[in-house]
A = this chain, B = another copy of it.
Amino acid sequence: MEKFSLSKISTRAPKKADKETFKAKTARLLEQLDELQYLLYAERKHALLVILQGMDAGGKDGAIRHVFGKLNPQGVQVQSFKVPTSEELEHDFLWRIHRYTPAKGMIRIFNRSHYEDVLVTRVHKLISDKTAHQRMEDINHFEKLLQHNGTHILKFYLHISKEEQAERLQERIDDPRKQWKYNANDFKERQRWHDYLGYYETVFERCGPDIPWTIVPADQNWYKEYVIARTVYDTLKKLHMRYPGLKG
């Protein structure tokens, strides 16, 4: 089998995909998702964990706003993971993650996740290869535990080109409405682009087959939103959920 390579996967929508058509499709999916989420919440048998990963400016915040922002906030919670605190670093790397996993009936969005602990940490050589491999094994076990409890896990990699990233980072300098997002460090991290890709590929390989990753072509926001909405919809639809009847 040929080795999986991110650079061979397009960051753009298929050529024949039409923006307006897909925007309409997404809108329809979101309406149906609203109903499915209500059912998820009422039935309280399943939970959904959505993991969003990607390069800086990959469009994670936008995806949260435009896809999950349409759902009932009572049943959707977002958790962003930043650099761990010193208290968090004194525990295993999944300790801080576990407390934010979704309760039954809930959708939890992870804006970055435990995968950073085998990505940014490897790019900056903060952990050894051995530790990284142990952690990926730990991640597989951990996700299995969540599955055992009825949590469905969707893992999205927002796939943008290096050129698209350059444009978006530049906008954070030029556009006064985006300047709050500017971080000089993003330009430094950009120089490690190739390292990040390589470590992402390892993650897809080792933490992949059982709970697969969706590689989302993300240069165009309208297509990215469609792919995510579609994947979430298909997942919830397959659960064959029902409203619980009267109790007792």
Hey, which bits of chain A sit against chain B, CB under 8 A? 44, 87, 90-95, 98-99, 101, 103-105, 131, 134-135, 138, 141-142, 144-146, 148-149, 151
- A92-B145, A141-B142 are known; give 16 further A-B pairs, CB within 8 A: A87-B103, A90-B103, A91-B103, A92-B148, A93-B149, A94-B98, A94-B145, A95-B101, A98-B98, A99-B99, A131-B148, A134-B148, A141-B141, A141-B144, A141-B145, A142-B145
Which residue of the partner chain, among B44, B91, B98, contacts A95 with CB atoms under 8 Å?
Answer: B98
Residues on the B chain within 8 Å of A105, using CB: 90
Docked-complex contact A92 and B101, CB < 8 angstroms: yes
How many copies of the shown chain assemble into the complex? 2
Docked-complex contact B92 and A149, CB < 8 angstroms: yes
A148 CA to B92 CA, complexed, in Å = 8
A151 CA to B94 CA, complexed, in Å = 14
Show 15 A/B contacts (Cβ-Cβ < 8 Å), sorted by A: A44-B90, A87-B103, A90-B105, A92-B148, A92-B149, A93-B149, A98-B98, A98-B99, A99-B99, A134-B148, A138-B144, A138-B145, A141-B142, A141-B144, A142-B145
Residues on the B chain within 8 Å of A151, using CB: 92
Residues on the B chain within 8 Å of A95, using CB: 98-99, 101
Which residue of B has the minimal Cβ distance to A146? B92
Residues on the B chain within 8 Å of A101, using CB: 91-92, 95
A148 CA to B149 CA, complexed, in Å = 24
Residues on the B chain within 8 Å of A91, using CB: 101, 103-104, 149
Residues on the B chain within 8 Å of A103, using CB: 87, 90-91
A43 to chain B, nearest CB (A): 12
A91 CA to B149 CA, complexed, in Å = 7
Residues on the B chain within 8 Å of A135, using CB: 148
